[in-house]
Amino acid sequence: MARLFEHFAARARLGPEPDLTDVVEAIRAMPYRRPHDRTPAGVIGEWAGTCSTKHALLRQLVRERFPRSTCRLVHRVYRVTPELARARFGPAAATVVPPEGLLDVHTYATIDSVIVDVTFAGERRWDGRSDMPLACGEGTDHDAGEDALSTKAALVDLYCDAAVREPFIAALSPPGRELSDEFSMRARSHAYDRDHRHHRL
């Protein structure tokens, strides 16, 4: 397992003795995009990730390289409004958010109780001590547990409408990057199920 950090450090071109801040900033600098392989190794290999996959990588690297620190993942269910999307993510994301908003689930981390969010690159380097601003709004937090991808999928299925959430997630990715087939198919399936239920009522 030690090879995961070595592979990450080489890909990120870190120095011989990287500290936690170096690791956090390297993950933040990765493009925001859904990798086809959603494992930590897959995120490194494709050098891209989302809030869930980037933070899963962060937790694995912290456990491997900084075993005295405790990294916990958290899912936040929150409402994205056009105003919040414009302020946090820019006009492209705001244009796909309906006027009434949409529910999303954002994943972040705490390291020794300090809030860390590696979803997007930041203007300032993290100081290693202070809470980082979250790439989401206020909402309800849920412990992600060990299988963070599964717990997030359950929350997304429970709270989110994939037909409106997926265009929003796509708008956060670099231009020209399409959603993975898996998630595009899920969005279409959710839209069909929702419409089918509506017709039966």
In a domain, 199, yes or no: no
In a domain, 127, yes or no: yes
pLDDT tens digits, residue range 113-143?
999 999 999 989 999 999 999 999 999 999 9
**Tokens at 66, concatenated:** 């900084």
In a domain, 198, yes or no: no
Instruction: Using CA atoms of 135, 140, 142, 144 in order, give the dihedral in degrees to the nearest 10.
Output: -20
In a domain, 200, yes or no: no
Please tell me the distance from the alpha carbon of residue 76 to that of residue 143, in angstroms, as a whole number.
Answer: 9
In a domain, 201, yes or no: no
| Residue 173 pLDDT | 85
pTM above 0.75, yes or no: yes
Terminal alpha carbon distance of the chain: 53
Q: Which domain holds residue 128?
A: 2-193
Q: Considering its fold, how many domains does the chain have in total?
A: 1
pLDDT tens digits, residue range 11-47?
999 999 999 999 999 999 999 999 999 999 999 999 9
In a domain, 91, yes or no: yes
pLDDT tens digits, residue range 142-158?
999 999 999 999 999 99
